[in-house]
Amino acid sequence: MAGKAAAPGTAVLLVTANVGSLFDDPENLQKNWLREFYQVVHTHKPHFMALHCQEFGGKNYETSMSHVDKFVKELLSSDAMKEYNRARVYLDENFKSQEHFTALGSFYFLHESLKNIYQFDFKAKKYKKVAGKEIYSDTLESTPMLEKEKFPQDYFPECKWSRKGFVRTRWCVADCAFDLVNIHLFHDASNLVAWETSPSVYSGIRHKALGYVLDRIIDQRFEKVSYFVFGDFNFRLDSKSVVETLCTQATMQTVRAADTNEVVKLIFRESDNDRKVMLQLEKKVFHYFNQEVFRDNNGTALLEFDKELSVFKDRLYELDISFPPSYPYSEDSGQGRQYMNTRCPAWCDRVLMSPSARELILKGEDGRATFRR
């Protein structure tokens, strides 16, 4: 996303990416990803740019540390970024702390033409002018220029070691103050459980966590400002409704474990056409026979099942979705446009905003500012 939401001529680009797989195959995926990122920067030419990363460092963080350092150095020193003479990088690298680790990485780049940029010090409760390039890592809890929290374990008891949480920074650009919140919410642990109810139990968990974040950033401790919340929300399509729609003419076969009688697989077959399998559903399998339905016209036909944000309709807004589901794309660099047959494709990665932030963007209609997607 790119926009001029602060002042005339000030372009702001907000980017979010779950980059976990980049560190599992840095030679291929990381290079391709960086090339695409630089192309986006070149296209939009922002003055202020925020990159919010989730699962930074990958699944095996300790073994990926060298790749992390290389990735950060590349971003800060690349020719494509040479006009950004100020930067702030916040990396949660404290992977040994089960209580605090979120694997979030937040990057902020300021163009050399941008003057008088300030960042808020949450401890001193005042703004400080941004100069130079600085990297903060390891234990971010002691960094006064941000607020960071990991969600309590009881939010998602199924996951013994969740890395979900949020990081918040506050900026003042051209006398316009706003918060930028990097967020990672809980995933669906099982396709079968998600399919049981509408909305799913996992949807309720995400609503609770996001509500906590919103309450936290508008509490009484600091002055209220506009805010943008962008990251991996793990929002999913309403599974029960999607399956019923995709498999309207199908018959369902239930497969149970012999020892526990637990449902382990659902098979949906066409009523005719030699009883062709349309969908196979397991805990971590969502294999639908025709992936094109998720890509045709950017998946617009399925947007009616994207319901999780509706709970926050008076608190959060977003621009019209004009891209196909962002998850779960193949991690094979040669099949980048294919979805993995693990989850139902969904718009997990979003850029959301407060009502006042939306007003900043809508000013573009009267010529004072513009926002493009």
Q: Which pLDDT score, from 0 to 100, does residue 113 have?
A: 95
Smallest CA-to-CA distance from 53 within 78, 72, 35 is with: 72
275-313 in b/e form (b: 16+ CB < 10 A) is: eeebbbbbeebbebeeeebbeeeebeebeebbbbbebee
Q: Which pLDDT score, from 0 to 100, does residue 372 have?
A: 38
**Residue 3: pLDDT band with limits 50, 70, 90:** very low
Query: Structure pTM?
Result: 0.94
Please tell me the distance from the alpha carbon of residue 162 to that of residue 165, in angstroms, as a whole number: 9
Q: Among 13-22, 43-52, 362-371, which is the least confidently predicted range? A: 362-371
Smallest CA-to-CA distance from 102 within 146, 69, 48, 67 is with: 146
Domains observed in the chain:
12-237+292-332+344-363 (3.60.10.10)
**Interval 150-154 mean pLDDT:** 88
How many helices (H) does the chain have, and how many strands (E)?
A: 7, 18
Q: Among 158-162, 205-209, 309-313, 329-333, which is the least confidently predicted range? A: 158-162
Q: For 292-321, write each residue's pLDDT tens digit.
A: 999 999 999 999 999 999 999 989 999 999
Strand pairing partners for 133?
87
Q: Which pLDDT score, from 0 to 100, does residue 8 have?
A: 52
pLDDT above 90 coverage of the chain, percent: 78
Please tell me the distance from the alpha carbon of residue 163 to that of residue 101, in angstroms, as a whole number: 6
Strand pairing partners for 120?
127
Tokens, residue 69 = 């350092």
pLDDT exceeds cutoff 50 at 371:
no
pLDDT above 70 coverage of the chain, percent: 94
**Residue 160: pLDDT band with limits 50, 70, 90:** low
DSSP H/E element including 69: helix 61-77
pLDDT exceeds cutoff 50 at 85:
yes
Tell me the helix, strand and coil percentages in the chain, rounded to 5. Answer: 30, 30, 40
Q: What is the largest CA-CA distance in the chain?
A: 70
DSSP 8-class letter at 308: G
Q: For 190-199, write each residue's pLDDT tens digit.
A: 999 999 999 9
**Interval 248-267 mean pLDDT:** 96
**Tokens 């100069």 belong to residue:** 131
